[in-house]
Structure 1
């Protein structure tokens, strides 16, 4: 994975802690340092009712609370196998802090709320802002993905058994990319022949190669859409050349993009989508398709902003 470290936003919520544990396993697997970042925006804590000590009365006390929080999360990450773990409490808006910390990172990780979508104050607006401003991919880890369930699967399974020839195209060789479950499941990526789709495809191949899992590239064909030709997608051919060890297949599936992607990702370990980021409303939601799959997917979702490097 290109990049020098994995960066995680930590805010005191359970979702952020689970995201950090998920990131710790990725960092351990790839031999990358893990950076835990807490953006200290005083007096935001009084507004969001985090689990801070009841006697917190000032900024310095909150700094100490944040340092203790990061120390605890760092211990949990080391227990998940991460060796090089650093933690920083940085004054400023959480999204701005994460974006600055992400420079040169492989990717940024944030958590997802258990109810009602991405956490509304810290990891809702922060996730949306980070996706729009960050030059690196942003992985949103849903509730339950960072804990013990499926532990170690990402390091063991390959997700390649039991597939036939159907759907194999220029993007790679046929494989059972849809067969594995949980963290050992394949990387599923949405492709559409666009530049952002190409960046998502390259990120997905590199992720799959590091994890030792299969890859399924999916193109959704809506009614009246311009036909998508697998053999004409230069990014698929380039990824197959650069990552010959990744067993990949391509599927062209009729239906709305969100539903097609969610169906394909039911057994995935990671879903990768690109955000085109067009328009004020879409910028606020970091893209209608990406927003919908983040809120509904049963696995972590990597969102590549329009300008993301991968």
Structure 2
């Protein structure tokens, strides 16, 4: 049976180079191959891909091949021991990347975007893949603390995919795992009437998550934090300051482009450092629930 891979998209940009370097190190830690993919639209637009007469190393095909080689060089420089597979594909990354990454360990992408609009800094491809891919999707942003913990947010007992992905990431890197749960209260809330539950259900959820993490990764250093805030994303982002990786689940099902759930959406846009959005194909999810 062919081993699973970490798939990473590369387009020649600096954000994509950052993603390739991160993906290569992650592949090295997990001892899996890295599949580096470059997608070019030029074959769909023109047949004139060859070199310009009299000009060495020219032409659109050569430029695409050079971009792919450049990405592979970034990967090998960051993790010389990793097996690097490369694919040069015609067509949109929105079409090719979900197909190649389906059922794989992870799809890794750079954070692209011009900013300046409500502080949103994630490019459309990264956002769409986080909403539609059939495997966990890591969006790599500057700000990673290599010595920081892996932080995972659990919202309910159905957060098992995010917890599993966080355990894998923490165990492979030797990092500690911080499991957080956020209790929300309305703005201006006061415990004047019916102060019934001081957090017993939330504490039970965290205790269960910690026990599950220790079962999944024996020997893993695990901490838990029960937070209270009027905004779940704000609490997660605050807790994730100094993290090496922030892991969130998603309740989006890809029916609407960019639908990953409001919490994952906000964290993906505003986190300082890599974010892993835990995704599973529908069939796998159904199998877990049966």
Verify the 8 A CA contact 1:214 1:247 in the aligned structure 2.
Answer: yes
C-alpha separation in 2, matches of 1:41 and 1:11: 11
Tell me the number of residue pairs that the alignment of Structure 1 and Structure 2 aligns: 256
Verify the 8 A CA contact 2:43 2:90 in the aligned structure 1.
Answer: no
2:125 equivalent in structure 1: 126
1:201-240, aligned counterparts within 5 Å? 201-223=163-185, 228-232=201-205, 234-240=208-214
- How far residue 33 of structure 1 moved from its aligned partner, in angstroms, is 0.9
Out of 62, 66, 69, the position equivalent to 2:67 is 69
1:89 equivalent in structure 2: 88
**Deviation readout 1:125-162 (Å, 9 max, x if unpaired):** 222222222111000001465xxxxxxxxxxxxxxxxx
1:268 equivalent in structure 2: 243
C-alpha separation in 1, matches of 2:44 and 2:147: 38
Verify the 8 A CA contact 1:187 1:272 in the aligned structure 2.
Answer: yes
C-alpha separation in 2, matches of 1:95 and 1:143: 23
- How far residue 232 of structure 1 moved from its aligned partner, in angstroms, is 4.5
4+ long deviations beyond 6 Å: 278-281
C-alpha separation in 1, matches of 2:250 and 2:35: 25
Deviates more, 1:93-102 or 1:268-277: 93-102
Out of 189, 208, 213, the position equivalent to 2:152 is 189
Verify the 8 A CA contact 1:189 1:216 in the aligned structure 2.
Answer: yes
CA 269–248 in structure 1, closer or farther in 2 if over 3 Å, else same = same
Verify the 8 A CA contact 2:132 2:254 in the aligned structure 1.
Answer: no
SS of 2:152's equivalent? strand
Q: What runs of 5+ residues in structure 1 fail to find an aligned partner?
A: 46-55, 146-181
Out of 39, 48, 62, the position equivalent to 1:58 is 48
Q: In angstroms, what is the RMSD of aligned CA positions?
A: 2.8
SS of 1:37's equivalent? strand
Instruction: Give the structure with higher Rg (CA).
Output: 2
Q: What runs of 5+ residues in structure 2 fail to find an aligned partner?
A: 51-58, 190-196, 286-290
TM-score, normalising length from structure 2? Answer: 0.79
- How far residue 106 of structure 1 moved from its aligned partner, in angstroms, is 1.1
- How far residue 270 of structure 1 moved from its aligned partner, in angstroms, is 0.1
Out of 273, 276, 281, the position equivalent to 1:299 is 273
TM-score, normalising length from structure 1? Answer: 0.74
1:98 equivalent in structure 2: 97
SS of 2:258's equivalent? helix
